[in-house]
Chains A and B, each alone.
With several copies, the nearest count.
Chain A
Amino acid sequence: MGTASDIKLINEDGLRLDGRSADELRPMKIETDVLARADGSAYIEWGGNKILVAVYGPREAFPKHTQDIDKAVVKARYNMAAFSVDERKRPGPDRRSMEISKVISEALSSAVMVNQFPRAEIDVYIEVLQADAGTRIAGLTASSVALAAAGIPMKDMVVGCTAGKVEGQVVLDLSKEEDNFGQADLPMAVLPKSGNVVLLQMDGDLSVEEFEKASSMILEATKKIHKIQRDALAGKYKAIALERSGE
């Protein structure tokens, strides 16, 4: 957060660099069943993010000492492709991706009916092919679609969005520039039925009022995003082959 910059992120009409208004989402599309081998899969494009998710399981947890006799363990692995960011990223987990894997695993565990599968593991592999701010939330949002596509019982989907503060204004769904030069970043994910929060991180500087505004914006946005999730699962976009999604 918060390196100073000369770039003007919001213009006199209240519009952002990419022309969006404060509470406007970037374009988003979700497809399911994009991979043949996985038990379930999803592909999300959200702004410039391009993220693939594959689900394997429930299957016996390995190594054995990771088994929980009462329930399944959800193991998410968030990974950035070496070519996903401007400077080549060395392959393998770094501290940031390990933390993100942990909070995503916990958020998904809230939604999955883990008690139905003692001693099992459910693996969620998230591969960021192109990163453009908000990858953890995009990956998490696609993960719950992939879990549903794999037929894994869930009490609800997980839907997320970020908000933040840019030039003193609370705005929804930060772009890359807003993420780099903004004043606060608030990624949040909820279970849409209850509105309960299963992922929440924040860094920057928010007054309590600004937090209220930001979290309301997110809650409102998750309704739209949840609809896109449901549409994807309903097969609306199933016909669009993965290979067409580049250009």
Chain B
Amino acid sequence: MPRDEAGILSEIKRDFILRRLKEGKRGDGRKPDEYREISITPNYVPRSPGSAMVCLGKTKVVAGIKVEAGEPFPDTPNQGVLTTNVELLPMAFPTFEAGPPNDTSIEIARVVDRGIRESKMIDIESLVIEPAKKVWIVFVDIDVIDFDGNLIDACTLGVLAALKSTIVPGSKEGGKDFPLPIRNTPVAVTMVKIGDTLVADPDLEEEQLSSARITVSTTEDGHIRAMQKGDVGEFSMEEIRKAINMSSNLGKAIREKYFK
């Protein structure tokens, strides 16, 4: 994760945040398991078959979906294809640079992708036009336009909203247009460990103070669909259990509020 412009948080700010956390309060007044405000605008790019803009606090991303006919992978002739790409645009943060994806953006894209893919959210078996020859390829592209922490969750929310609004252009291949078949809603929740406290949905300051990060994706059935531990720190098994529980609860709340 990038540092702020000065490279490190000032000592004073750092102490303030750590002191407040001991009292169970975060820098911006949230409780440890509290999410920032979420705002979702589906169909933000109306000419795309699917899209959404998401604000997670001051973090903003735009997700856009393209669905095009193409060849399946040789080892999965009866499945459509899903690809996920995240662009950390230089407009989003002073130290983000233009250029090919680096390991940060690749990790985000792959964790977001696994959450979607492993939950079987999309019924990719239904995206076959002609087995082994032609299937629908779902391109998920996410522009990060304003960065204030927790990109994995913001991008996942953007993709969920965009996919749920997506119309497959079946008429281009001699069929009918149809909504992308969606089976469930895997919500990713990311938490970081600051001192001994686990906090959900970290903002940039908190990411800079954290020693370790963990993302847990869950579905309606409470099952875990993807996990990713990140950063140079450790979690006890107890902390991981707590993270799974926190993710499950927050996931349920988010699903009910935004993806009914």
Which residues of A are in contact with B by a Cβ distance under 8 Å?
1-3, 35-38, 41, 48, 50, 52-54, 56, 59, 77, 79, 81-84, 86-88, 91-93, 95-96, 98-99, 101-103, 106, 109-110, 123, 125, 127, 129-130, 132, 186, 191, 194-208, 211-212, 215, 219, 242-247
CB atoms of B141 and A91 under 8 A apart: yes
From A52, A93, A219, B91 is in contact (CB under 8 Å) with A52
CB distance from A108 to the nearest CB of B (A): 9
The closest CB in chain B to the CB of A212 belongs to: B241
Is the CB–CB distance between B62 and A81 below 8 Å?
yes
B103 and A99 within 8 A (CB): yes
B75 interface residue, CB < 8 Å from A?
Answer: yes
Query: Given A88-B68, A202-B226, A243-B39, are A95 and B143 also a contact pair (CB < 8 Å)?
Result: no
Q: Are A88 and B139 in contact (CB under 8 A)?
A: yes
**Is the beta-carbon distance between A130 and B47 smaller than 8 angstroms?**
yes
| Closest Cβ neighbor of A77 among chain B residues | B98
A247 surroundings in chain B (CB, below 8 A): 41, 43, 46
Residue of A nearest to B214 (CB): A200
Contact residues in B for A54 (Cβ distance below 8 Å): 91-92, 145
Tell me, in angstroms, the Cα distance from A186 to B248 when the chains sit together: 18
Contacts from B to A (Cβ < 8 Å): 39, 41-48, 51, 53, 55, 58, 60, 62, 64-66, 68, 75-76, 85, 87, 89-94, 98-101, 103, 106-107, 109-110, 114, 117-120, 139, 141, 143, 145-148, 214, 221-237, 240-241, 244, 248
The answer to whether B234 and A110 touch across the interface, beta carbons within 8 angstroms, is yes
Measured between beta carbons, the chain B residues less than 8 angstroms from A194 are 234, 236
A81 B141 Cβ-Cβ under 8 A = yes
Q: Is the interface of A mostly helix, strand, loop or mixed?
A: mixed
Given contacts A1-B118, A84-B45, contact A37 B66 (CB under 8 A): no
CA distance A197 to B229 in the complex (A): 9
| A83 surroundings in chain B (CB, below 8 A) | 45, 48, 51, 64-66, 139, 141
Give CA–CA (A211, B240) in the complex, Å.
10
The 4 A-B pairs of least Cβ separation, nearest first, read A83-B64, A246-B44, A54-B91, A196-B234
Contact B89 A82 (CB under 8 A): no
Q: How far is the CB of B57 from chain A (nearest CB, A)?
A: 9
A64–chain B nearest beta-carbon distance, Å: 15
Pick from B66, B68, B227: contact of A200, CB under 8 Å:
B227
Contacts of B64 in A (CB 8 A): 81-84, 129
Contact of A35 with B146 in the complex, beta carbons under 8 Å = yes
Chain A residues near B234 (CB, 8 Å)?
110, 191, 194, 196-198
CB<8 Å pairs between A and B, sample of 12: A37-B148, A48-B47, A83-B48, A91-B87, A92-B100, A106-B230, A109-B232, A127-B145, A203-B114, A219-B237, A242-B60, A246-B46
Instruction: Determine whether the beta carbon of B68 is less than 8 Å from that of A87.
Output: yes
B228 close to A201 (CB less than 8 A) = yes
Are B75 and A3 interface neighbours, CB within 8 A? yes
